[in-house]
Amino acid sequence: MRFDVITLFPEFIRQAMAIGVVGRALDRQIIGLDCWNPRDYTEDNYRTVDDRPYGGGPGMVFMIEPLRRAVQAARRVAPDNPVILLSPQGQRFDQSRAKSMAAGSGAIFVCGRYEGLDQRFVDHYVDEELSIGDFVLSGGELPALAVIDAVTRLLPGVLHTDASAIEDSFMDGTLDCPHYTRPEKSEEGEVPAVLLSGNHALIARWRRKQSLGATWLRRPDLLAQLNLNKVDQALLREFMDDHKAENGVQ
Ligand SMILES: C[S@@+](CC[C@H](N)C(=O)[O-])C[C@H]1O[C@@H](n2cnc3c(N)ncnc32)[C@H](O)[C@@H]1O
């Protein structure tokens, strides 16, 4: 899988991608990265990439020519990958989009800056727009890094155990269960006894119940989309009863 990133800040992308899980995936060549700086595709001495908006108003607009040339250069090495613009106006990126991207061959990400990009560039060269949430950042670099990280950790061989990604939140529509590690007892409390029992069936049952319960408590919108089987329904009922009893609800 290869990622091409069109950005005015290639060092930001390279440095952030050099560490942790994504850094290991790069070292092992499970993913590849190239950055393309639109400033390298300008023709004036000032390497200008922005200009004032037609019609007036505040801020500057990313110019079409440097973007077009940078995308054309990236497309020459990754002709089959989609051009994805990070944009607060795009489709909301989520785990299911991360999974579908992980099954592909990569993407050419365009990181916007300023008030945005010349719309003609978007209309002609962008295959898809992705947002990481309903808030506005100063540039598309952090969103591109977020998408790359979420996709990379799903690729076979990237995490120490591939199963860890399967148990993450959203993978099956529920939130993850709570996690504990040593010490068994601390000032803040004890590890739930079932996790120390060595009984794998009971542990799996407890984890599933906690996942369903956390989803019910925190993200009822996700729960409403699930078609729970009888076993899950019973586990969730048990969690709800425990929760009500703990909180003194009749
Ligand atoms: C200051 S923003 C421009 C926002 C634009 N004027 C608007 O209101 O839609 C500059 C760039 O940051 C990126 N960006 C900002 N927020 C984002 C988000 N929530 N998701 C993805 N990209 C975002 C986009 O690439 C955008 O072109």
The alpha carbon of 138 and the centre of ligand 1 are apart by a number of angstroms equal to 6
pLDDT given for residue 162 in this prediction = 76
Report the C-alpha gap between 144 and 177 in whole angstroms. 28
Residue nearest atom 25 of ligand 1, based on CA coordinates = 112
For residue 111 and ligand 1, the question of a CB distance below 6 A is answered with yes
Residue type, 221: D
Over 90: is that where the pLDDT of 166 sits?
no
Report the C-alpha gap between 76 and 42 in whole angstroms. 18
For residue 157 and ligand 1, the question of a CB distance below 6 A is answered with no
Tokens of 114: 């300023």
More reliable by pLDDT, 209 or 162: 209
Separation of CA 103 from chain center: 15
Over 80: is that where the pLDDT of 218 sits?
yes
Neighbours of 15 (CB within 10 A): 11
Sign of the torsion angle spanned by Cα atoms 35, 144, 173, 236: positive
For residue 34 and ligand 1, the question of a CB distance below 6 A is answered with no
- Count the alpha carbons within 13 Å of 2 in the hemisphere toward its beta carbon: 14
Neighbours of 204 (CB within 10 A): 11
Ligand 1 pocket check: which of 67, 83, 85, 87 to mutate, most ligand atoms within 8 Å of Cβ? 87
pLDDT given for residue 152 in this prediction = 98
The pLDDT tens digits of the residues spanning 190-214 come to 999 999 999 999 999 999 999 999 9
For residue 10 and ligand 1, the question of a CB distance below 6 A is answered with no
pLDDT given for residue 190 in this prediction = 98
More reliable by pLDDT, 4 or 167: 4
Mean pLDDT, all residues of the chain: 97
What confidence category does residue 19 fall into, taking pLDDT thresholds of 50, 70 and 90? very high
The alpha carbon of 153 and the centre of ligand 1 are apart by a number of angstroms equal to 24
The pLDDT tens digits of the residues spanning 91-130 come to 999 999 999 999 999 999 999 999 999 999 999 999 999 9
Tokens of 3: 């990622």
pLDDT given for residue 48 in this prediction = 98
Tokens of 136: 């506005």
- Percentage, residues of the chain above pLDDT 90: 96
pLDDT given for residue 37 in this prediction = 98
pTM of the model: 0.96
What confidence category does residue 237 fall into, taking pLDDT thresholds of 50, 70 and 90? very high
- Whether residue 241 lies in the annotated active site: no
Q: What is the DSSP letter of 58?
A: S
Over 90: is that where the pLDDT of 184 sits?
yes
Question: Mean pLDDT, to the nearest integer, of 7-24?
Answer: 98
What confidence category does residue 164 fall into, taking pLDDT thresholds of 50, 70 and 90? confident
- Percentage, residues of the chain above pLDDT 70: 100
206 vs 86, 150, 196, 200, 232, CA distance in Å? 39, 27, 12, 10, 11
Contact call for residues 40 and 7 (beta carbons, < 8 A): no
Over 80: is that where the pLDDT of 221 sits?
yes
- Domains of the chain in start order, with CATH, are 2-152 (3.40.1280.10), 185-246 (1.10.1270.20)
pLDDT given for residue 151 in this prediction = 98
Sequence-separated (6 or more) residues with CB below 8 Å from residue 174: 211, 212, 214, 215, 222, 223, 226
What does residue 202 show for φ and ψ, rounded to 5 degrees? Answer: -65, -40
For residue 62, the ligand 1 atom closest to its alpha carbon is 27
Q: What is the DSSP letter of 87?
A: E
Please report where in the chains the tokens 């499970």 appear, as a residue.
30
What does residue 174 show for φ and ψ, rounded to 5 degrees? Answer: -110, 170
Question: Mean pLDDT, to the nearest integer, of 213-218?
Answer: 98
Question: Mean pLDDT, to the nearest integer, of 46-74?
Answer: 98
pLDDT given for residue 78 in this prediction = 98
